[in-house]
């Protein structure tokens, strides 16, 4: 047990894990959905059959999440160097932990029936908001700089992955989702709650963002 988090493990916990978790929690506190009373269960992949069962039910992912559960299902975790491998791609572990915690906050606020996949919110909103919260760090540029990075990745990448400034990777469409959320929240001054209720399509929001991007900055 560590604060609001119950850790399930078969082997001794790596000494670097709890500091990584604590830093991810500090990131999540920036979310408008943050609830200090949330309780989250984390299952490490260190010999238990549970992660394999969850992978069969929910499909392959670096970290699986549902309700208030986070399950390590990636290929390999390096707590000291702060990455988790997924199909050979290095993903920033602290940011991934923050991402899935925001999903737990989404579940807590909206409940099972009003959360994805049941609720059917557009993926760019449901996945983009955790990305936006998780990756608000100094190694990312401002919105214009990151839009430029996205356009370059969409033109150059044959794999759908793009490398980030800290040498970890992300899927280009997840990077796009984050920028669309950032545009809606920071430029259009929306909240995530109001964005979920908004009916503007992803294509229209992208056109709006690119129109803003093309204009000279103040």
Percentage of the residues of the chain whose pLDDT score is greater than 90: 78
- Give the contacts of 5 (CB within 8 A, at least 6 positions apart): 21, 39, 40, 41, 42
Token pair of 20, please? 């990584």
Q: For the residues 154-181, what does the mean pLDDT come to?
A: 92
Q: Give me the half-sphere count of Cα atoms (radius 13 Å) on the Cβ side of residue 162.
A: 20
Q: How far is CA 190 from CA 32, 53, 181, in A?
A: 12, 39, 9
| pLDDT per residue as tens digits for the range 146-163 | 999 999 999 987 889 999
User: From the DSSP assignment, how many helices (H) and strands (E) are in the chain?
Assistant: 9, 9
d(CA 162, CA 19): 27
**Average per-residue pLDDT for the chain:** 91
Give the residue ranges of DSSP H helices in the chain: 17-28, 50-58, 93-110, 123-126, 128-134, 143-156, 172-182, 192-197, 202-214
Q: For the residues 22-37, what does the mean pLDDT come to?
A: 95
| pLDDT per residue as tens digits for the range 81-106 | 999 999 999 999 999 999 999 999 99
């Amino acid at each position: 047990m560590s604060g609001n988090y119950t850790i399930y493990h078969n082997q001794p916990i790596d000494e670097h894990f709890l500091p990584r978790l604590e830093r991810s929690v500090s990131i999540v506190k920036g979310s408008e959905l943050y609830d200090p009373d949330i309780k989250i269960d984390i299952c490490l992949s260190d010999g238990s059959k549970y992660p394999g069962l969850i992978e069969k039910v929910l499909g392959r992912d670096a970290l699986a999440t549902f309700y208030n559960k986070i399950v390590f299902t990636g290929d390999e975790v390096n707590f000291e160097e702060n990455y988790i491998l997924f199909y050979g791609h290095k993903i920033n572990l602290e940011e991934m932990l923050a991402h899935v915690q925001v999903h737990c906050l989404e579940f807590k606020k909206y409940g099972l029936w009003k959360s994805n996949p049941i609720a059917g919110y557009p993926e760019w909103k449901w996945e983009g908001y955790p990305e936006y919260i998780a990756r608000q760090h100094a190694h990312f540029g401002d919105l214009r700089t990151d839009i430029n990075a996205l356009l370059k990745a969409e033109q150059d990448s044959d794999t759908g992955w793009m490398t980030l400034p800290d040498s970890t990777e992300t899927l280009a469409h997840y990077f796009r989702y984050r920028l669309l959320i950032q545009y809606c929240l920071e430029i259009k001054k929306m909240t995530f709650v109001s964005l979920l209720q908004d009916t503007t399509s992803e294509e229209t929001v992208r056109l709006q963002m690119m129109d803003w991007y093309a204009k000279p900055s103040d």
